[in-house]
Each structure stands twice: as structure tokens, then as C-alpha cells.
Amino acid sequence: GLTSGQRFSEVTARLRKNSVFFTDEEYSRVLSGIVVACVDAMLLRGDKVLLGLRLNEPYKGGWAYPGGRMKPGESFADTAARHVEKNLGLEISPRRFRYVRTDSWAWSKRGQPPEDIGCHMTGTTMAAQVSPQEVERIKIADDLGELNWMTLPEVSANQKIHPAHRAAAEDIIAGSFQS
């Protein structure tokens, strides 16, 4: 049944210990039959947010927040922290991330064969402020072509940024996010 409190911690620990993370080949076989849970990390530096130019589908060639699939037993904040470390080489405590929004996305293309049938994902955006010292330690990963700091209004107006990511910037501008 549904768990909470200490029992929730026990169940998520068991899920983490026994989870299987699919290879791309395995993942391509199940992708058409599932909705994938993903988390994107908005790293904020004052009024600017970090975006990466995607090299892979979905959304190849578009600007996006670093992120990716959740693993069983992870919280949204755990996933955000893991992907920031994987994609940018920066360790950030999951406790620093705050929830911004969740969206449902239908992609016309995906990174796994057959690429042209697309996929369905839910994307949760989490945000954290980063210090100037942390900004200096950021490194580009192999799945991002370049990085760019943009102001929140620039993100909101840029059509090369996915609508859900633009909406997350608008939520922060509107003050619905508390850092």
C-alpha cells in the first residue's frame, strides 16, 4: 500500500537497492508503452538561469535545463542533484532544490530507435540558487553542445526553449517559486 514517514524511507531504500536502469537498447523496447518521469534542474544565478543546447533527442537543437529520467526510489530533488552532477560536474545537495512545476510532454522524436515514433514524458522542474564559486566549477557534459546563462525574461520569450521550460521561468518571474 501507500507509505509515508519511516515506512516510505524503508521502501524507497529497497527500491534504490533493487532498481534496474535500462540500457538504451532495453529502454527503446519499453519506451512506447510507458510514460517516463523526468526531472529538470533550473540553476539560478541572480536573475539568470543556466540552459544547455541539447545534442540528442528529444528536443535536439533546443535549449533546455539539465535533467533526465528518474530512478526508482529517487525524489524529484534527488534526481535533479544527480543530473546536475552528471551533466555539469557540480555537486548540489538535494535539500537545496525547490519544486517549481510539473508538465506532461509529448515528443515527436526520441533518442532511441525507432526515433520517429516519439514518446510521452512527465517533466518536473526543480530549482536551486548557485553561488559564483559553484558557477566557476561547472563543466559541460557530452550531451550538451554549449551552456548559456539567460535572464528569466529571455527564457520566457525564447521560442527555441521548450514551452514547459519557458513556463517555469514565468512561474519564477511571477513569484510562485520560493528559493
Cis peptide before 132 (omega within 30 of 0): no
CB burial of residue 21 (10 Å; 0-12, 13-18, 19+): exposed
Q: Match 551552456 to its residue by C-alpha cell.
A: 147
For β-strands 98-107 and 119-129, DSSP reports them as: antiparallel
Q: What is the pLDDT along the chain (179 residues), one digit of tens a residue?
A: 656 667 777 877 887 777 777 887 887 888 888 888 999 999 999 889 999 998 888 888 989 999 999 998 899 999 999 999 999 999 999 999 999 999 998 888 888 778 888 888 999 999 999 999 999 999 987 778 899 999 999 999 999 898 899 999 999 999 876 55
The pLDDT assigned to 177 comes to 64
The pLDDT assigned to 18 comes to 77
Q: What angle do CA 118, 123, 126 make, to 5 degrees?
A: 150
Q: Match 509529448 to its residue by C-alpha cell.
A: 106
The pLDDT assigned to 4 comes to 62
Q: Match 544527480 to its residue by C-alpha cell.
A: 82
Q: Do the Cβ atoms of 67 and 80 come closer than 8 Å? A: yes
Give one DSSP letter per residue of 123-179, joined into a string: EEEEEEE--HHHHHH----TTEEEEEEEEHHHHHH-TTB-HHHHHHHHHHHTT----
The pLDDT assigned to 39 comes to 97
